[in-house]
Chain A
């Protein structure tokens, strides 16, 4: 970052601008493209029940790269990253509690569907 407008060490906590090196930006982009191709290829194969898990692992890797470098969480105060992680945590809770609840009513729903669902011809 020799072209930074500030002459001090970029990691000083009082620097306003922290430009991400261009090389790193491009490296991240090409990694993301590579992971996209990978997920398309693995998506066409079958891995005995692990398909979704694998796709989600690849997507999470991509998301982590975007967050850390493109969204520069890597260089920011950890608090900002924590805000984001908390949102993800609450999505997990949302999902978990909805799952618990849905199974509770499954029998009723299925019975209702069998009795009431009409099919248009």
Chain B
């Protein structure tokens, strides 16, 4: 009987069937950050329980860290309290903590892969919806809430039902100026933000296989924006090459044995799926969101849709989005003036993202009155970028070069939009108020498109410059 990767990984981690009919699923890697875990550690203390597998539990701080000065104590007393709380919990329960002093801090979904913690065939959980990111390595990775963090800390298990599987095949190859971000925005545009409910997404096809690991992380990162419980890509030679010589990867003979195992968890050629969706890579164009969820996007050269063209039942949502954005159906998204440009986040804050964006800004200047930020996803990304001189390129162009953190993706730190500002953003969510101003506006796009918008002062087509 042929199996999908989901089948294989699920079976290997299924502890038992619970009376409820859900599976008790063993979690191989538990990642923890400062926002969603303090209450879970408190619950553990109340129950008098220990962390069951502290050696499989790793913590960092990312959401609340300031990106200008990371000197402790932080100016924000609440951020300081959360940081201290996580520091104390990690010490008390024996959890490895990549804090600011370690030199290894970063966004949790950036450091997991870069350290080699994330490996094919694992189950992964983290109290963060973008945990789906780790599926790029052929893992089954779930975002969970605080009560479930308590469950994983205490038992290394989750009570969870197995999702259905939708195969998303992107054939052909991408055109110049089209990136992984555009693939995932196009997928969500077609399938909608609720199309993935009940599913795990398997991304495959030649346009996916051709991507490097960092681009694959961008794709899987936004699975949750399409409503999917998780998303994954089958491990291949690209995956294995990436993991070779990573700090936490197996070494020597064990690596060879691991590589064999990793390849074996890929979906069988004849595996069957509950649903299949296909797109040709050559039909994907640079995408920009015009609305208040990541499915409300258009290719950069197309017009913003009017509510009358919305799918059945979505007319009100379209109107609400247009009203919030102060856009009109039929207008061009290209040429929309911006106030802020943000390059960073767990979606697009990796070294390859910064390299692509740096190519666009090199020798140019940020347009007048535009605030432009580059925020590396981790201390390691920042160090590599400096080694390559990317920080200089950005600084000379007029970008602010910041320190690692989630920054303006979600505004739990000082980096926030003001008033009605419009931000060209390489992040993952354009929800109302997401970037810190309740009335602020977000246009999601690839890092190269953000860089181009910063230079032009408005949304432009990366292919035309």
A binds B: no
